[in-house]
Amino acid sequence: MAVDKKTRCAEDLRTRILTLDIAPGSDLDEAELCTEYGLSRTPMREIFQRLGGEGYLRLEQNRGARVSSMDLPVMRMFFQTALLIYSSITRLAAENRRNDQIGPLRQIQTGFKAAIDAGEAGNAAMLNHRFHEQIGEMAHNPYLLPSLRRMLIDHTRLSQVFYRPLSEQDQQRIQMACDQHDEMITAIERQEPIRAVDLALAHWDLSRDRLEKFVTPDPLPLEEGIRYGG
Domain boundaries, the chain: 2-67, 72-215
pLDDT at 225: 44
CA–CA gap between residue 41 and residue 168 (Å, rounded): 49
CA–CA gap between residue 166 and residue 56 (Å, rounded): 28
Residue 45: exposed, middle, or buried by beta-carbon count in 10 A (0-12, 13-18, 19+)? middle
pLDDT tens digits for range 68-110: 999 888 888 999 999 999 999 999 999 999 999 999 999 999 9
pLDDT tens digits for range 48-58: 999 999 999 99
CATH for 2-67, options being 3.40.1180.10, 3.40.50.11030, 1.10.730.10, 1.10.10.10: 1.10.10.10
pTM: 0.87
The alpha carbons of the chain give a radius of gyration, in whole angstroms, of 20
Helix/strand/coil (H, E, C) string of the chain?
CHHHHHHHHHHHHHHHHHCCCCCCCCECCHHHHHHHHCCCHHHHHHHHHHHHHHCCEEEECCCEEEECCCCHHHHHHHHHHHHHHHHHHHHHHHHHCCHHHHHHHHHHHHHHHHHHHHCCHHHHHHHHHHHHHHHHHHHCCCCHHHHHHHHHHHHHHHHHHHCCCCCHHHHHHHHHHHHHHHHHHHHHHCCCHHHHHHHHHHHHHHHHHHHHHHHCCCCCCCCCCCCCCC
Cβ count near 160 (within 10 Å): 17
pLDDT tens digits for range 100-128: 999 999 999 999 999 999 999 999 999 99
CA–CA gap between residue 73 and residue 108 (Å, rounded): 32
Give the architecture (CATH level 2) of 72-215. Answer: Up-down Bundle (1.20)
pLDDT at 230: 38
Confidence bin at 210 (pLDDT 50/70/90) = low
pLDDT at 60: 82
pLDDT at 132: 98
Higher pLDDT, 158 or 211: 158
pLDDT tens digits for range 135-183: 999 999 999 999 999 999 999 999 988 898 888 998 999 999 999 999 9
Q: Are 106 and 182 in contact (CB under 8 A)?
A: no
pLDDT of 67 higher than 50: yes
Same CATH fold assignment for domains 2-67 and 72-215: no
